[in-house]
Structure 1
Amino acid sequence: MTEISRLFLALITGALVVSFAGGASAKPRQERPKPKSAVESAQTAPAPLPRQFFAEKGVQPLTPELEQALRPKDSFKECDTCPEMVVVPKGSFMMGTPANEPDRFKGEDPIHRVTLARPFAVGRFAVSFDEWDACLADGGCGGNKGDDNGFGRGRMPAQGINFEAAKSYLAWLSKKVGRTYRLPSESEREYFTRAGTTTPFWFGNTVTAQLANYQASTPYGSGPHGPDSKGPAVVDSYAPNPFGLYQVHGNVFEWTEDCFNKRYTEDTPTDGSPWLEGDCHKRILRGGRWNWSANMLRSGYREDSIVDGGGFSFRVVRTLNVQP
């Protein structure tokens, strides 16, 4: 190798050494990850699973600490024969039905906003005969056996219950548990029936015999004909709505606390409380019935009955001591 070649080779090697040394001494540059938006975080974070707090035997009311920690869709039973309660989130909704809703009736207007400032708990099901009979066995409910009309008891919805009889069950349950159980207001009933929806039914613009228990030979809107129901169904039939509540449409009419008024007015409560003015010898019913047509199952449909009228059922509510 000539002297010139050796010098050229040494220059190239030196340059390579400098290049690698410079690269090794440089700190690697790391980009700071961009913070995720609240929407992205909500989409990626798994939703917490609902929790259950059930009394295994006897009476076990929620402690104040546990009650404060409840989240929407959590459920509890405060005694072994008590109704299962589901936590419903706070929120607001437009109560009533629009003028273009098929088969609407007078009295479902004007549409108005109702805001429920706190979560509350609702019976997952209508009160069953099992639960009603537990009241009777404990000396409550005034000895009123209701009327199953030959359809059976057990997990069938308690029927033949007038307004005062429903209140006697609530008085027995409240005393047994040491917490206040009550009927829903009419606005609460529509709120947890809709469960965030604005359509005539929580599952959409029409109804089929696979979605609710009713007289399906009379269709609703563009919905299909179906077979008529032969009787009430057990309380855990059909799919629950987005709040986790069963049969908010059809099967049995349910009492609310509200007195009868022909339509909403400027005096209608907008905070979820019951309307206790008007004809209080009549009370509002909601939900529809197994042998009534589909238009009377709608979320906004209003029915009424005298307080000593039988043939109906009810669902219980419990106010929760939680932060707004």
Structure 2
Amino acid sequence: MSYCFNPACTQPRNPPNNNFCQTCGTKLLLGNRYRPLKLIGQGGFGRTYLVEDEQKPSRPRCVIKQFYPAGQNDSQKAAELFELEAIRLEQVGTHPQIPTLYDRVKQDNCQYIVQEFIDGKNLAQELKEQGVFKEAQIRDVLKDLLPVLQFLHQGEVIHRDIKPENIICRRQDKRLVLVDFGAAKYATATALAKTGTTIGSAEYVAPEQLKGKATFASDIYSLGATCLHLLVQMSPFDLFDLYEGKWAWRQYLMNNPISPELGKILDKMVQNSLRDRWGTAEEVMVALQASIPMQRKSRAIFSPTTFQTQTSPLQSFEFESVMVQLQQKLFRKNVELQRFPGKAEYFKEDFDNGVSLEMVCIPGGIFWMGSSEWEGNKEESPQHRVRLKPFFLSKYPITQAQWEMVMGNNPSRFKGKNRPVEQVSWYEAEQFCGRLSGQTGKPYRLPSEAEWEYACRGGTATPFHFGETITTDLANYNGRDINVRASKGIYREQTTDVGEFFPNAFGLYDMHGNVREWCADCWHEDYKGAPGDGTPWLAHNRRSPRLLRGGAWLANPDDCRCASRLKYDPDVDDSSIGFRVALSGRRID
């Protein structure tokens, strides 16, 4: 059957191969390629259709959203939202649990966006057919969707309409997909401070969003309200006691016990006060991971992805680090190495084809961040004390093999599965973290600048973690560039396999040279006003330059120092740029 796009058509159903509607004469093929099969949704500002793409041999199915406002009152606002939805989908559709935008078409005075068809049932349908969700299922909903929210929020996008109808359990792999970005908006400083239009389904919307001031925590609230609805099959409106001014969802649990640990997490997700609510998806993920009872087995309705990783308990590995000792002999500097045994804890994510990711536990502590006046540049000052909690950092820069397993491609100039991936922008590094989080259920992210420098130093206060000087026997950089901190060495003119040089005292490799590494922070000209707790120092503009650390194969010796900083625009990539990933906390269950 072919379905007519004209909302005013009285008999929209047509024979399968018609090119024009037999009732109103409207052209049935959109853009001469997309044939509508049926109407699958409609509202005041348009309709949604299931279509076939006739230009492709397999005639794959897609979803088309048509903007066709029924009235004029809010048509301008609706047109803006429709346009923004296309923009949002183009920007965030790289995540495997967000529909991909395929096309935008204008035809017969209507606008259309063509996007990926997600074959499956939404959670409202699952709830109606299967009844209330059990604790294991709620945990899997959170585990599946929190990394998606983390990805969106890192891209400064707020969804603003999370509800059961907008979460589809994909039939192919049973992963949850977040759909309908018509209400999504950028969380710029101006947008967050400005009172805007109230958008979203009222029963799932946070109080501040009802006032037109949505924040990242507003999505946390909506996801929490969605979970409460799935637990008791009642509207969130009916679960809040207006007389007591608090949620009363527990009294409606019917033979469906929920552990105190999960209950506390859900309670904090739906707090009316922003101050009392979880602020980020990562915070909820960490709490969820920490709350898993040791003996409980998951009986989820959602199967893990076919790209599921396996996590081992914390293990330890031994290594040897070095410190350089300089001995001046006439006009030459002799470098002698003093060797030290080391030991560190780590856990490993095992992927397919023998590929793994090792995450080293970095102990918490206090250090002086930046460089003294005699060592560095003004952007590396003033030196300031930073206190950090324990965290995990990847043992090596992300390799090409690891990138291919997560992203399915290899952008690198210097090919080699054990070489660091390069030619990766800050945005692409963030996408990798989002996908890795979705595949493992852990909140992977880029390290903050403070975390990176602390980890690089490994407890030292010298320009390099191995001492006052650097040599091409200890790192991969431009050894032809001679200065006060280095003698002449070799210039390899390309990246090298990770792990070829001595690690630092924390057991981390390639912290100096090989590739520059993206950090989460935005660029600031100096450290005046920098955080003292190791958190990323961000700016309000997503287009702000971002931080790179560690030097590279083509860098001079000074640029490889622990304190050296470099700024690039977040969309820049070249063969000197890579990254490594971080994970908050000390415990991995």
Question: Which TM class, normalised by the smaller chain length?
Answer: 0.7 to 0.9
Relative to structure 1, the CA distance from residue 294 to residue 134 in structure 2 (aligned partners, 3 Å threshold; closer, same or farther) is same
Matched, 1:60 2:310: yes
Task: Map 1:126-205; keep pairs closer than 5 Å.
Answer: 126-137=397-408, 145-146=410-411, 148-149=412-413, 151-205=414-468
What code does the residue aligned with 1:107 have?
Answer: E
Correspondence for 1:314: 579
Task: Map 1:141-290; keep pairs closer than 5 Å.
Answer: 145-146=410-411, 148-149=412-413, 151-266=414-529, 268-277=530-539, 280-281=542-543, 282-290=545-553
Task: Map 1:63-102; keep pairs closer than 5 Å.
Answer: 73-80=344-351, 81-101=355-375
Instruction: Report Cα offsets for 1:168-195 as digits up to 9, x if no partner.
Output: 1111111111111000000000000001
Instruction: Report Cα offsets for 1:4-59 as digits up to 9, x if no partner.
Output: xxxxxxxxxxxxxxxxxxxxxxxxxxxxxxxxxxxxxxxxxxxxxxxxxxxxx952
User: Quick one: distance in 1 between partners of 2:311 and 2:486?
Assistant: 44
Matched, 1:105 2:377: yes
Gaps of 5+ in 2: 1-306, 318-342
Instruction: Report Cα offsets for 1:259-292 as digits up to 9, x if no partner.
Output: 01111112x1110100012664210000001011
Q: What's the TM-score once normalised by structure 1's chain length?
A: 0.73
SS in 1 for 2:486: coil
The partner residue of 2:387 within 90, 105, 115 is 115
User: Quick one: distance in 2 between partners of 1:165 and 1:212?
Assistant: 26
User: Quick one: distance in 2 between partners of 1:228 and 1:167?
Assistant: 31
What code does the residue aligned with 1:87 have?
Answer: C
The answer to whether the 8 Å contact 1:206/1:222 transfers is yes
The answer to whether the 8 Å contact 1:206/1:220 transfers is no
What code does the residue aligned with 1:208 have?
Answer: T
What code does the residue aligned with 1:99 have?
Answer: E
The answer to whether the 8 Å contact 1:259/1:278 transfers is no
Deviation of 1:145 (Å): 3.3
**Higher-RCO chain (CA-CA 8 Å, sequence separation at least 6):** 1
SS in 1 for 2:484: coil
Deviation of 1:215 (Å): 0.8
SS in 1 for 2:407: helix
SS in 1 for 2:468: coil
Deviation of 1:70 (Å): 8.9
Between the two proteins, what is the percent identity of the paired residues? Answer: 35
Work out the number of aligned pairs and report it.
251
The answer to whether the 8 Å contact 2:478/2:555 transfers is yes
The answer to whether the 8 Å contact 2:362/2:391 transfers is yes
Relative to structure 1, the CA distance from residue 228 to residue 272 in structure 2 (aligned partners, 3 Å threshold; closer, same or farther) is same
Relative to structure 1, the CA distance from residue 280 to residue 190 in structure 2 (aligned partners, 3 Å threshold; closer, same or farther) is farther
SS in 2 for 1:73: strand
What code does the residue aligned with 2:391 have?
Answer: F
SS in 1 for 2:357: coil
Aligned CA-pair RMSD? 2.2
SS in 2 for 1:206: coil
What code does the residue aligned with 2:478 have?
Answer: Q
SS in 1 for 2:478: coil
Instruction: Report Cα offsets for 1:186-209 as digits up to 9, x if no partner.
Output: 000000000100010000101011
The answer to whether the 8 Å contact 2:546/2:570 transfers is yes
Relative to structure 1, the CA distance from residue 58 to residue 195 in structure 2 (aligned partners, 3 Å threshold; closer, same or farther) is same
User: Quick one: distance in 1 between partners of 2:573 and 2:358?
Assistant: 24
The answer to whether the 8 Å contact 2:372/2:381 transfers is yes
The answer to whether the 8 Å contact 1:285/1:303 transfers is yes
- When structure 1 is superposed on structure 2, of 312-321 and 244-253 the one drifting more is 312-321
User: Quick one: distance in 2 between partners of 1:199 and 1:269?
Assistant: 22
The answer to whether the 8 Å contact 2:369/2:385 transfers is yes
The answer to whether the 8 Å contact 2:390/2:586 transfers is no
Instruction: Report Cα offsets for 1:197-253 as digits up to 9, x if no partner.
Output: 001000010101101111111224253211222211111111111100001000100
Deviation of 1:153 (Å): 2.7
User: Quick one: distance in 2 between partners of 1:316 and 1:230?
Assistant: 25
Deviation of 1:119 (Å): 1.4
SS in 1 for 2:423: coil
User: Quick one: distance in 2 between partners of 1:159 and 1:197?
Assistant: 28
Q: What's the TM-score once normalised by structure 2's chain length?
A: 0.41
User: Quick one: distance in 1 between partners of 2:356 and 2:485?
Assistant: 40
User: Quick one: distance in 2 between partners of 1:92 and 1:120?
Assistant: 13
User: Quick one: distance in 1 between partners of 2:419 and 2:499?
Assistant: 9
User: Quick one: distance in 1 between partners of 2:316 and 2:450?
Assistant: 22
Gaps of 5+ in 1: 1-56, 138-143
The partner residue of 1:295 within 550, 558, 564 is 558
SS in 2 for 1:168: helix
> Which of the pair is proportionally richer in strand?
2
Correspondence for 1:13: none
User: Quick one: distance in 1 between partners of 2:350 and 2:489?
Assistant: 40
User: Quick one: distance in 2 between partners of 1:197 and 1:99?
Assistant: 18
The answer to whether the 8 Å contact 1:260/1:280 transfers is no
What code does the residue aligned with 2:538 have?
Answer: L
Deviation of 1:308 (Å): 0.3
User: Quick one: distance in 1 between partners of 2:366 and 2:586?
Assistant: 19
The answer to whether the 8 Å contact 2:395/2:508 transfers is yes
Where does structure 1 differ by over 3 angstroms across 4 or more consecutive aligned residues? 69-72
